[in-house]
Chain A
């Protein structure tokens, strides 16, 4: 009996200790966050202040991203993909190299643009000042913004002239760096690895389907598309290809990917004229590998 009581006491003590540690860790985390409320953002001539954004964060953002910015708002359970966990300081849409923090302007642009294929709408009805304040508030959730500087923005060379050769070269790049493994031989997002992909929090994630005409997550222009595969989308399986693709080749890939989209474009028209069939080269690759 005494032994049972002893065991019970030990278990109880352990549970209480764990609970207290969790509580104290939670309080410490919150306290650290509060200390970072002095965070600022700088976008052009605008200076955002985290303290000024508390009301708007509560009004617009907290339902999904949560009080603690951990992506665990009340709506999170209903949403797919899940809201971003700001405490990690990892962001998909950046102009900076992979693994580094985004510029303030990157976060500012994301808030204003929204993220297609997610529940994050465009918040551009908010004033520029309000969005700048929210950028500062988003940053205050992660200690990374205290200890690290943003990365260096990648350089995007001027877009070259579209030619048939470049379009074909783009298809070869698509084949060589094995874009098709995730995005599928024809870019429909149905590659052999597609079903197994997860994000950095081990949640299933689907590769982009170039044929459904949706906007890219991180912008709509050719430059945005170039930037996406040179910076990668941190937190997702989409890596940065900046070490594997030369700038010229990256532009070739942009041209090719544009030709896959359903919208009318110069690239699509040229592909039709030269008889470039999506997936023709890629389809041969798996067989050749086998």
Chain B
């Protein structure tokens, strides 16, 4: 038995050495666990993915709605700061890379030890029903940006239906990419949340990116019913963009219901409707901040749901997306559109499955498909830009307590986009990731 145990320990150690992670801007704050004396697993199905308890805590403005919420109760040693970083080993392989030396294309595979970016998170309550979140994220070269900066007024007039958030925040997606469990560099993110058709110039329709704006969110006392509406700059969360004089709206609603022994299910919808400039005034050839014009529209609508079958859960997201012909053809209004130009339209969906063996071990898969249903320029191959993405992995948290989070993460991802290789054929890449994911 001891020998088997030793072998297991050695295996874990060896595996750990090769483990690798790419950091995402996930929000999991052990500082909350320390404040309330709860394990990570109380709020996270597997951190950073929230469970129903964690979602309610978040929706209440980082409050459990008891007498331990207010800062006055906090221990003097409490410091609401979390860091997250992911040392890792990873292997990236991309097919059909144009190579000068051979004048042709070949697969390029690279691997090695690496480190993901650093997330510095702080969040909590400033007073009863006044909360904040601050996430400063860096890339692997320690170049930082504000991932989230917002203040939230909760339970206005004593109603859980009146919560207002201002600043830069994640859109109210019940299937959150920021809290996703897949981390690999190629295909680890949700393609559907960032899809841009080939040749399309609209980069502001990415529902997975945090945005600058204002959000109203309401929920029932037990958080089973949730609804939100937000308005934000059409700037994809960037600051000082030339075309920021336009706005986008995002609307979401969902309803959870109990299904006996299977667990609690949730179904919902979302809709993003907005406009953004296709052109900008310039000065000396440089875009003038705020000088955007020629606004055109775009939309993303879909259904989503989280379904539990005891230890198995499925996260499902669908999307119907549309970009105006000006975006689809990358034409700056009021220039003339190419002949026959029309909106770029696509449909997509993904299913992410988790098998939660226990709170410390979760197996993950995601299958994602995006299909163009209408190319902006007639005659374009109908499947140009279509995406298939498959991810498999597991996440093991060998220790779990109320002080810190630590996980060993192993993942394989494969992604293919139709017709985007230099020679016009399909482009595929894969990623293997082994790493430590930890935050404190």
Interface residues of A (CB under 8 A from B): 52, 55, 58-60, 62-64, 74-75, 78-79, 114, 116-117, 119, 121-130, 214-215
Contacts and interface: CB of A to CB of B under 8 A. Distances in A.
Given A121-B36, A122-B65, A126-B52, A63 B260 contact: no
A164 to B, nearest CB: 30
Interface string B58-69: 000000111110
A137 to B, nearest CB: 15
A155 B389 CA distance: 62
Q: Which 4 A-B pairs have the closest CB atoms?
A: A125-B52, A75-B37, A63-B39, A121-B64
B56 interface: yes
B430 interface: no
Contacts of A52: 261
Contact of A63 (B38, B53, B64, B67): B38
A204 B348 CA distance: 60
Given A59-B42, A60-B42, A116-B67, A123 B53 contact: yes
Contact of A125 (B55, B261, B356): B55
Interface string B29-52: 000000011110110000000011
Given A125-B53, A126-B52, 5 more contacts: A52-B261, A55-B311, A59-B359, A63-B42, A123-B53
Contacts of A124: 222
Contact of A122 (B36, B66, B358): B66
Contact of B402 (A63, A125, A215): A63
A102 B53 CA distance: 26
Contacts of B264: 126-127
B56 to A, nearest CB: 5
Contacts of A214: 67
Given A55-B358, A59-B359, A125 B56 contact: yes
Contacts, number: 73
Interface string B10-38: 00000000000000000000000000111
A125 B56 CA distance: 7
B422 interface: no
B39 A59 contact: yes
B401 interface: yes
Contacts of B258: 127-129
Nearest to A133: B261
B59 to A, nearest CB: 10
Given A62-B39, A63-B37, A78-B37, A129 B261 contact: yes
Contacts of B52: 125-126
B66 A59 contact: no
A116 B64 CA distance: 11
Contacts of B41: 58-60
7 contacts: A55-B356, A58-B359, A60-B38, A75-B402, A78-B37, A119-B36, A126-B52
A125 B38 CA distance: 15
